[in-house]
Each structure stands twice: as structure tokens, then as C-alpha cells.
Amino acid sequence: MAYEQSALTNSYEYAQGSGYVLPEYPFVEPPEIRSGETSHHPIVIVGGGLAGLTMACALARYGVAAVLLDEDNTVGVKGASSRGICYTQKSLEIFERLGVYERIAAKGVQWSVGRTFAGHDEVYSFDLRQQSAYHLSSQPPFINIQQFYIEGFLVDRINELGHVQLRWNNRVTAFEQDSEGATLTVTTPAGDYRLRADHVIDATGSRSPFRTWVGASVTAKKGDDRWCIADVRFSKHPPVERHTWIEAPFNENRAVWQHLMGDDVWRIDYQMPPDADPEYVSREDVVRERLARQFGADCEVEIVWVGPYAYRSECIDHMRHGRVFFMGDAAKVVSPFGARGGNTGVADADNLAWKLAAVVQGRAAPALLGSYHEERHEAARQNVLVTNRTARFLRPADGVERLFRDAALGLARKYEFARQFVNTGRMAVANPYTRSSACEATGGLSVQNVGFEWTDGTRGTVNDLLRWADGQLLLLVFGNTGREALERVRALAEAAPLRCVQVVGPDGAAAAHEHVRDPHGHLQGACHVFGHAWALLRPDSYVVATGESIDADLVRAIGKAVGASEKDA
């Protein structure tokens, strides 16, 4: 029988005074149970959280068939539904390509200003819209929104696109792999079944059973920091800014975070003593007393959700084991400082999806898949390092660490140069890839979703060009390269999955039919090139390589981007 896709059963107003009410998706009996057969699928995704659903949506956009298995019947996490809230510009650009950005922007809250306090003194501030690294993209620096909203939007988009089956209440209980494929045993309310897959994506989270099944090693460090989340509505409205207290006088001189999310709900994170009792600190009367100290006894408070949490940092040593690819929290876990958790899971999915699509659809060699570990493991290690430094600044050990923290705060109160040492979370950015076999030395950098002009004068964006390329490589040739060089490019495009666009300035003449104008130089700057040059872009908006002439360097770069050996290229 045909497998029916599920539909959303609740409205998108999840936040209520008594807590979050998450949507529930119906269980549909998988056809394998009735037939008794073991089905085969090119790709199986296990885990319907942020990373898994982003992966599924990206594959659906590329037209690649896949199955997603989730042991629950909802988005978010029952009993701990308030999770990630802060989504970076890179993630928002990815969501725009997937077709869910407008829904996120309509529900979420944009912000760019952050302020950090030590006691009553402001010791650091920033406005990301004033920084060149952010202000040219079509997406804002950040949007705050509860994670389950994004997951719900992704579910709807997957159902719109087709190609991917979403199977709720399907829990994987056993796994094995061999030279021909992988076999998964799945338990459901209607019985058990088995399926085979060419590739398995583990997006099951930090307690992934696949780590044990494949014998994956993990480098981990357990922290003793304790926090309590309070998601609340106020009668008083704080500024729509990220406020951080390193030493909050209303929280026994411990750290506090303050963010606005969707539904006019504020997220307040309170640092607790390391020996705090989780049950006690999350009691409603204790939370209300804590909120009254911060906002005043006269402030009316509606508590939406409360929960304690602790964190650890860990990174899997290899993000690919045979046919299994680890992503999101299954691959690494970081402390929540700087929004480097869920956002890196989104980037994991964006990185792997186009590569799997290219391999499955015959546009790239299987060797390309090896670059997933090279690129995303480098990013994971960097994010673990950065967040661990923040954790040590917020809760320094006695001795040198505390001496440095106290000195940095003391100097920052008086001198601007010292404010760079105040570390309450280095905000997440698109990680560069410096060790990738799929990029040349001149590549490995992300390209912002900047604007340009089509030939009719209307505005386009980098994402528009990537959608036009439709999963192929995109070659942007800047300046008046000449017809002879463009003819060489056309010849390359016939032999490789490549689309080419000539980019000219406000007064430049185009030698190619496919051309756009870059009147302000934003597109060229985003590609990290100047003058007469070319930039080869991947479907995930990363630069493979740049150069000045259409020659063997470009041919070699195309070969790397499709996993071809140097001989084949």
C-alpha cells in the first residue's frame, strides 16, 4: 500500500500558560509489516529532531528519496520541549533555500544587539548589523524562536515537497552493516519490521545507540555547571536584545541570560550552584522568587515552562563509520554558549545532503562522501573548543582562571581594549574548511546570501542562483572574461555537473547569455575574489576554489568537488 504522509494536527500557537503543547503526528503502519518483506531505501535518516529534519528537507528539495524514522510522534522533546532558541544567519540562509525561512521570520524575533553586564556595569556590547560580516545578507544576523517551531515548519515543508517518508513512532532497536548495505530493525505499535539502506544518517542525539553499534569512540568532558531555564511572559517588556550578566546581583553573582523568543515568551537562563538540587531550583515558587528579584515584585509573570539542565562537551572521533554518518548531537555536544549547538547540526545536514544527492543521482563519485568527516569534524572540534573556553570564563576554577576573569572584568569596566577579553559566548559563524579534500586551498569559505541584479533589473540572491543550479556546481565568472574563455567553460559544463553565470559590474558588457549584474560588488566580495576572476560554488554555498584564468586549476577544482581522482579530473 502507499505510505501516507502525516499532517499537522495542532495549530502553531504552542506556548500556553501551563506549558508547551506540541503537535502530534499520527502513526501509519509501515507497509513492510503487512507484506513481511524487507524493503530497500537509498537513504534512511534516524531521528526527527532539528538535524534529521533539516537533512530530510534538503534531500526532498534535491528530489532524493529517503525514509526518516523517529521514535516519538511529535517535534521538540516531551517533558523538555524548550531547547534551542537562537538561529544564526548561516542557518537562516539554509532555511531560506529549503523554503521555510519566511515562516520562521514571521514567528520569531530578530535581534542584533547584545549587552554584557558585570554587576550593574555594562562591560561589553555589540550590534551585529553594523558588522560587515553580517549586514549584506538577505537574512538577519539572528532570529530567536523555539526549536520545535522550526522542526514543525520542516515537517510541513517535507510533506509539501514529497520524496521523503516520515515514519512516526518507529524506533530502531538493532543495526548491522556489511559490504552491500545496512540493515535496521524497527519496532512500532503495530509490530516489528526490517529495512535495508545504502546510507544511514544518525541524528538520534547525544544518547545515540549507533555509537555503540558501530564501536565509535568519543572524546568527552563532563561539566559540573548547573542551570535553570525559565520561559515566561511579563507585564514589563525588557529590550529586544541579548542581555547577559556574568555576575548578576539578583542571582547570587552568578550568570544570567535573557532572550525574547516567539509568542512574546522570554527565555531566562539562571546559573545555579554546582551542587544545586534540580528539583528544588525548578520549583515554581523558587522560580517566581528568582524572577521577582530580577524584575521586581510588581512585575506580573506567566510561567510557560521551567526546567533544569546541565551540559557536557563531547565530540565523536570519526563522523562516518562505514555506511553510517553521524550529525547533530549524535556527532558532538557543546555547551549552549554562542548558539553553537543546533546551528551546527543544521550545517551538518546542509553539508552532507548535497553530497549524498550528488552521489545517489550519479553526479559525483562515492569518494566525495569522505569530505563530510573532514569538514564537519573540523567544525565540531572548533565549536567544542570555543564553547569550553566560554564555560571556563563563566565558571572559572580557583587560581589562574579566576584571577584572569576578575582582571578582565575590572579592566573592561574602565578600558575599551579589555572588552574583547569578556567571553560570554563567541557567537556562531559559518565554519571554514581548511582540511577538505573537496576544496582547494583558495576555497573552504562560506558565501553569504547577498543580492545582485538580474538582467531585467530585479533583485536576486545567491540562493536564487543555487536553486537555478539545482544541485550542480555553480561557476561565477567576474568581469569581461571574453567569449573564448566562456566557450571553454561551456565545454566544461557539458562534461561536468556545472552551471555558469557571468557577473558584470554596473557598466560591464556581458559576453554570455547567462549573466547578472553586481552593481555594488557585494556578490564578488561574498565570493572572496577581486578583479577579473572566477569562484566555484558548491550547493551548500561554500567556495570550492577561486582563480583568475579558465585553466587546469578550474578543471582540478571541479574534479575535487565531485570526488574524482586527480587522474579522472
- Judge if 75 and 197 occupy the same domain: yes
Reduce the secondary structure of 163-225 to three states and give it as a string: CEEEEECCEEEEEEECCCCEEEEEEECCEEEEEEEEEEEECCCCCCCHHHHHCCCEEEEEEEE
Q: How many domains does the chain have?
A: 2
pLDDT of residue 10: 34
- In a domain? residue 407: no
- In a domain? residue 350: yes
- In a domain? residue 115: no
Instruction: Lay out the sheet containing 301-316: strands in order across.
Output: 121-127, 113-118, 242-248, 254-260, 266-272, 218-234, 301-316, 332-333
Apex CA 227: angle with CA 15 and CA 430, to 5°? 75
- In a domain? residue 531: yes
Which residue among 361, 386, 411 closes a domain? Answer: 386
- Judge if 89 and 172 occupy the same domain: yes
Which residue among 386, 415, 441 closes a domain? Answer: 386
- Judge if 498 and 365 occupy the same domain: no
- Judge if 65 and 169 occupy the same domain: yes
- In a domain? residue 161: yes
- Judge if 456 and 375 occupy the same domain: no
- Judge if 80 and 169 occupy the same domain: yes
pLDDT of residue 16: 52
- Judge if 201 and 345 occupy the same domain: yes
Domain containing residue 89: CATH number: 3.50.50.60
User: 359 lies in which domain range?
Assistant: 24-103+143-217+314-386
In 10 A of CB 552, how many CB atoms? 10
- Judge if 185 and 332 occupy the same domain: yes
- Whether 254 contacts 272, CB under 8 Å: yes
- Judge if 58 and 205 occupy the same domain: yes
Closest CA to 216 of 350, 330, 366, 328: 330
- Judge if 350 and 459 occupy the same domain: no
pTM: 0.91
Which residue among 336, 361, 386 closes a domain? Answer: 386
- In a domain? residue 471: yes
Domain containing residue 470: CATH number: 3.40.30.10
pLDDT of residue 4: 34
- Judge if 84 and 169 occupy the same domain: yes
- In a domain? residue 189: yes
Taking the chain (569 residues) in runs of 10, the rounded mean pLDDT of each run is 33 54 91 94 96 98 97 77 81 97 94 87 82 80 90 96 96 95 97 97 94 92 79 82 90 90 88 88 91 89 84 88 95 77 92 97 95 94 82 82 87 86 78 93 94 92 96 90 67 77 74 79 92 93 92 88 68
- In a domain? residue 241: no
- Judge if 29 and 148 occupy the same domain: yes
pLDDT of residue 496: 77
